[in-house]
Amino acid sequence: MQVYADNAATTKPSRTALDAMLPCFEQFYGNPSSLHHVGQAAAEVLLQARQDMADCLGCEAREIYFTSGGSEADNQALRSAAWAGARKGKKHIVSTAFEHHAVLHTLEQLKEEGFTVTLLDVHETGRITPEEVEAAIQPDTCLVSVMYANNEIGTIEPIAEIGAVCRKHGVPFHTDAVQAVGHVPINVYDLNVDLLSASAHKFNGPKGIGFLYIKKGVTIHPYANGGSQERGNRAGTENVAGIVGMAAALQKNTTQIEEGQRRLKVLEETLVSYLKQAGLDFIRNGAENHLPGNVSLSFRGADGEMLLHRLDLKGICISTGSACDSVNTQVSHVIKAIDVPKEYAEGTIRITFGADNTEDDVNQIANAIIQVMLESK
């Protein structure tokens, strides 16, 4: 029996999302930019989806810009803020050492273009403090970018407090909230953010669609040139079905966050308890304040990739870290950043529970891990 516990990599689209998408292929299939009634019917569906998402995030509909996913949203946010800063003679960016590669690789490119970047070290739990961010801000700082919740270990950062520091110094603030949206309560105004990235397939929506929240008054640079879609900021015919599915998934998840958090907390605590009772030697990574259902474990003397494949043979799907970097099987930059001891670091796996997981799944995962670890001794 298959057990899927890699929900930080991607989630199964909900039936709600799929049902919402189908009419977009059969009825609302027009180009939203077309002036005839078929096109305008699609435009109305698009308008409603944008409003529905804004209601979930506590912002105005015109502050939501659709993208192809979180990576594109991150790229557009960072590059726009950087270019805007450069026009004012500001070319310094503050971020952290354990951001997603969509952020880190973009920062590397910006460095090649003459920007300077300060990457803050995180504590052993993956947390940074607002005071550390404030100390890193310089007169020429044009952007601070800190992820809301880490994709590998689940640590949640003090985003609202960091945002307040950025407001105090007049520095634009971006957060990669790909892992958080749809899983923790979010009101973008309360967070003090100027830019926020998200991706539908992380909260039971379809792949290939995401969004960038851009606070009213913040100017961004167009990601692609061509048509006037997304108010001139992203050319290309809108993915109406994907957008509608994303909005439906976000609405459903937003209404069930508290219930979902309680259920996931029970699952993760049960798993860790079983493994401790079995006497396995491991470290649980991350902070006490973390994404519910995210369990990052480092087993002493183990090989994380071996664990992954052995569990896969038993029908259990997990990961060693970020699925976006699965071709690189060495110890991840996140595990290095939190300074996990070498004898544990190479035995790191990530188990992330989602909406469909049950206590039976936890039992199967625990028993399989215990069996594999005992066999490998």
Dihedral sign for Cα atoms in the order 88, 98, 14, 239: positive
Q: Which stretches does DSSP call E strand in 25-164?
A: 64-67, 92-96, 116-120, 141-145
**CA of 249: how far to CAs of 19, 246, 297, 354, 375, in Å?**
10, 5, 29, 14, 41
The catalytic residue among 24, 166, 317, 324 is 324
Cα torsion 109, 113, 117, 122 to 10°: value is: 0
Say whether 142 is catalytic. Answer: no
Count CA atoms within 13 Å of residue 255 on its CB side: 9
Angle formed at CA 307 by CA 153 and CA 357, multiple of 5 degrees: 60
DSSP 36: S
List own/partner pairs for 21-27 with CB under 8 A and 24 or more apart: 21/206, 21/241, 21/242, 21/244, 21/245, 21/248, 24/240, 24/241, 24/244, 25/241
Q: Which residues are catalytic?
A: 324
